[in-house]
Structure 1
Amino acid sequence: MNEFLAAAPLWLPGVTTMACLILASAFFSGSETALFYLSRDEVQALHRGGARERLVAGLLADSDRLLTAILFWNLLINLTYFAVSVVTARHLISRDYSTVAGALSVLSVAAIIVFGEVIPKATAVTFRRSIAVIVSIPLAMAVRLVDPFLPLLVGSARTIRRILWPNLKQEPFLDVGDLERAIETSNLGADLIRHERQALQNIIELSDITCEEVMRPRGTYTVWPPPVHLADIRGRLLQTDRLYIGSADQDDISASVALDAFNAFPDLDLQASATPVVHVPWCATLSGALEQMQERGAGVAVVINEYGETIGVVNDEDIVDTMLSPQPSRARRVLRREPVLEVAPGLFHVDGITTLRYLAHRLQLPDEPAPDGVLTVAGLLHETLERLPAVGDEFSWQGWVVRVIDAESRGAVRVMFSREQTPDPQPEVEADNARLD
């Protein structure tokens, strides 16, 4: 003990420095665990919180950048810590305090493990949301300091990965065949098995259905210019669950607010509670759009055409309806009513926004891709007539007579489908028999 006290002037500065480095290591280790242990629902709730909570959600929006910065600082701190430990031990050894140097080396390793990793991570798991909010500002500053070096770090990591694992592919968590076998071997009732099979089929079709087929077309929703306050929208939102906020410099959607997620609307700028959006091309599959939305924590995918113009939006509610509904319908979600009405046996009134996939299901027609990529009844009218439809236009399609019964100036159309009358061969047979007689 006397030897430790006698050597205090030698090891005290180094131990003090290492204690500060342990606190810094604990900060980054706990921050990493707290932020990345947050669930998706917790992150969505942070988007609607205060300034610090929204800052946490903003950091998690670019998780690769956040993780790279945390690992960079943690590595730098740990290297500095052990460098100080080695220098302090060498000073002690040079003054014939070998025992103190050995004890200090062992204790320094134990201290960085226990107080720099184990305790901070265990605490962060339990109080992850509170800790994430507390560390948000200093962590954001630390990430900003690393930004100039991030391209170099990311490029180096990508180069090493391509050199060492050029053909590395991510293994799927669950194959479609596994789901099918699970349903077949489950002891469920016939009705439940039928619903399970339908849901499974809908999930599989996500990789075939394009965003253009599911999206809410432009004109069926309102884009609000920023800033948007509660007083601006009071009494003007009708039958909508989401608020779309445009960009300040162009006619585009930059964020969205899920209105049904609020227990009470905040009086401040609603844009502060908005979540980001992702942009996908019209030909992107629904599964690809869903993957991007999950990665970015977005609730909306903005669909653009080949010219970069916004042509519609896809909400997470639209994707859930497509997966779980026995008869998913884009038109029913937009119109909030049934788009295909049977007004008489074999006679249907159909809205132009209805997809041909849903119409084929209602009319019991084979679900085959339409020529030239036509997706909706309105598109079928334009493709067949080669002009804007007018009331009274009529043509035949797959055994049905299609007649336009309503054509508004803004482009909304409504048509009537009736079965084609097949000619009765009996009169011709009787006429032939009469001539033979």
Structure 2
Amino acid sequence: MTEFIESAELWYSGLIAMIILILASGFFSGSETSFFYLSHDEIRTLRVGKPRERLVAVLLSNPDRLLTAILFWNLVINLLYFAVSIVITQRLTSKELNVAAGVFGILSLFGLILFGEVLPKSIAVFARRKVATTASWPLAAAVRVLDPIIPALSWVTRLVRRTLWPTVEREPVLHPEDLERAVDAFQLSEEIVKIEQQVLHNILDLSEIKVEEIMRPRGTYETLTGPLELDKLKSITPEGDFILVQNEKEKGEANAVFSLQNFTNLNGKERELTLDELVYVPWCADLATALQMLQQRYTAVAAVVNEYGETIGVVTQEDLLDTILMPQPSRTRRLLRRDPILEIGPGKYHVEGLTTLRHFCARFDIEFQNSQDGQLTITGMLSEQLDRLPKLGDHVSWQGFDFKVVHVSKVGQYRLLVSRQPIPSEF
């Protein structure tokens, strides 16, 4: 031991370099854990926070780029660490300090594992948000430095994959219908499984239901012209918990969304109103695609556009969760804050025209089949059968029910009296 201490000139400078490298390795290891351990809600909150917090959300918007940079720098640092360790070991063995060289090599390995991996990752798990915001600026610089060579790394990865596994066969696709049959065949206690089966069926229906069917139509939400200021918010009473914001120079189409959950007013002082990015989805997209886009962009509102690129409504994360968790999800219930189908007498109901045919069929145990012409609501079904817009007093029959228009509002909302058709008696 005395000889090892006396030979400090052989390993002292290298030990300092190894300590610096092990701290750098711990930084990247902890950063990786803290960033990718953040929940979806935490990332959404960071998007409207302080500059450091917003930078965390920006880095996570491209997770492949971030992870590639972290792994690359961590690999380089670890290689340098072991290179320095080998040099010091060789110096010690050249002075015939073989025992000291062996102990130094073992301690170097355990030191990197403990202080470069285990300890930083453990701290990052318990304080992920604080660690992520603290590491955001240096990590952003490390990612930016690596940007010029990331395309080359991706090209090498594809080349190796195609060279070593040129004929990778895709796994067979499991269709939603197969999953639904499996859910129906799953048997446990009846009351518990009934709820679970309904939720699973709703999840599987996400790949079948189109965004147009559950979206909030244009006119049912607030739209303001930017720039958004506190005085404008005080002068309105929003219907929901979000406001669409359109560009002052390009009026007509919104390009951002302001969530009221992100707004705070502390001690009467105005805080900067941060807008979220508005995601666009086509009217014909399914709900699974819309949910995936919202999760990838860490936002809660998507604008629904038609084939001409015009915004015809919005769909929110709340709407999608309602579709998944509610036994009989209904867009009209969310908009009107009441049941869209009200029983007013034996076999007679008041039904809102905005009610979807899917919800109507589920309410009365009718098998629902998607219409080839794309009619989704009761009003649409009436228009199809009448070949015109419905008027007060119009009467049609559909699926064993009589539909009569009893009210038409100024904004074109319909209310219908629905009654079951009498079952013909058998002679």
Smaller-chain TM-score bracket: 0.7 to 0.9
**Structure 1 residue 65, shift from structure 2 partner:** 2.2
1:134 is matched with 134
User: Share of identical aligned residues, percent?
Assistant: 46
CA deviation vs aligned residue, 1:346-382 (integer Å, no higher than 9, x gap):
4444333221112233455432222312111232233
SS at 1:313 equivalent: strand
The alpha-carbon deviation at position 104 of structure 1 amounts to 4.0
Asked which structure has the greater CA Rg, the reply is: 1
**Corresponding position: 1:351 with 2:335:** no
| In 1, Cα distance between equivalents of 2:113 and 2:173 | 33
Could you tell me how far apart the structure 1 residues matched to 2:319 and 2:373 are? 25
SS state of the match for residue 274, structure 2?
helix
Superposed CA offset, 1:12-48 (max 9, x none): 3332222211111111111111222223343344345
For residues 291 and 415 of structure 1, what CA distance do their matches in structure 2 show?
36
Give the SS at the match of 1:373.
coil
Q: Report if aligned partners of 1:228, 1:269 keep a CA contact under 8 Å in 2.
A: no
Tell me the secondary structure at the aligned position of residue 271 of structure 1.
coil
Report the counterpart of residue 229 of structure 2 in structure 1.
229
- Cross-structure match for 1:434: none
- Corresponding letter in the other structure for 1:270: L
| Structure 1 position 303, deviation (Å) | 2.7
State the match for 1:157 in structure 2.
157
Partners of 1:293 and 1:115 in 2: how far apart? 37
**Distance in 1 (alpha carbons) for counterparts of 2:5 and 2:422:** 107
Q: Which residue of 2 aligns with 1:304?
A: 305
Contact 2:23 2:116 in 1 (8 A): yes
Structure-2 separation of matches of 1:248 and 1:226: 5
Moved more, 401-410 or 70-79: 401-410
Q: Relative to structure 1, is the Cα distance of residues 402 and 371 closer, same or farther in structure 2, using a 3 angstrom cutoff?
A: farther
CA distance in structure 2 between the aligned counterparts of 1:203 and 1:62, rounded to whole angstroms: 27
1:167 matched to which residue of 2?
169
Verify the 8 A CA contact 1:277 1:300 in the aligned structure 2: yes
Q: 1:195 to 1:423 in 2, by over 3 A?
A: closer
1:286-345 Cα shifts (integer Å, max 9, x gaps): 233323333443323333333443332221211222122222111111222333334444
- The residue that corresponds to 2:208 in the other structure is 208
Cα shift readout 1:189-231 (whole Å, capped 9, x = no counterpart): x4x5544443333233222212221111222212334443333
- After TM superposition, the structure 1 stretch with the greater mean CA deviation from structure 2, 57-66 or 391-400, is 391-400
Question: Which has the higher mean CA deviation after the structures are superposed, 162-171 or 129-138?
Answer: 162-171
| Residue among 243, 250, 271 paired with 2:274 | 271
After superposing the two structures, state which structure 1 stretch, 258-267 or 228-237, moved more. Answer: 258-267
| RMSD between aligned residues | 3.6
Amino acid of the structure 1 residue aligned with 2:289: G
Structure 2 residues without counterparts, runs of 5 or longer: none
Which has the larger displacement, 95-104 or 239-248?
95-104
- Of 348-357 and 248-257, more deviation after overlay is shown by 248-257
Q: Is the 8 A contact 1:224 1:246 kept in 2?
A: yes
Name the counterpart of 1:380: 381
3-state SS, counterpart of residue 372 of structure 1: coil
Aligned residue number for residue 431 of structure 1: none
- Taking structure 2 as the reference length, the TM-score comes to 0.82
- Gaps of at least 5 residues in structure 1 are 427-437
Distance in 1, matches of 2:332 and 2:32, equals 44
What is the CA–CA distance in structure 2 between the aligned matches of 1:414 and 1:212, rounded to whole Å? 21
Rate the CA distance shift 1:88–1:252 in 2: closer, same or farther, 3 A. Answer: farther
1:238 maps to which residue? 238
Report the 3-state secondary structure (helix = DSSP H, G, I; strand = E; otherwise coil) of the residue aligned with 2:169.
coil
Count of aligned positions: 418
The whole-number CA distance in structure 2 between the counterparts of 1:146 and 1:71 is 11
Matched, 1:341 2:342: yes
Distance 1:30 1:205, change over 3 A: same
Partner of 2:9: 9
Provide the TM-score with structure 1 as the length reference. 0.80
Distance 1:344 1:117 in 2: 69
Change (3 A) 1:401 1:126: closer
Give how far 1:71 is off. 1.0
Work out the CA distance in 1 between the residues paired with 2:172 and 2:51: 37
Partner of 1:288: 289
The answer to whether the aligner puts 1:185 opposite 2:188 as a matched pair is yes
The more displaced of 12-21 and 339-348 is 339-348
Cα distance in 2 for residues equivalent to 1:354 and 1:162: 51
Residue 198 of structure 1 corresponds to which residue in structure 2?
198
Out of 69-78 and 158-167, give the one that drifted further: 158-167
Distance 2:296 2:35 in 1: 15
1:43-63 alpha-carbon deviations (Å, 9 max, x no partner): 344345433223223322332
Q: Which residue is equivalent to 1:69?
A: 69
Change (3 A) 1:354 1:402: same
The change in CA–CA distance for 1:42 and 1:101 in structure 2 (over 3 A counts) is same
1:70-109 mapped onto 2 (5 Å cutoff)? 70-90=70-90, 101-109=101-109
Match of 1:125 in 2: 125
2: distance between equivalents of 1:185 and 1:105?
57
Query: Do the aligned partners of residues 62 and 87 (structure 1) sit closer, same or farther apart at CA in structure 2, a change above 3 Å counting?
Result: same
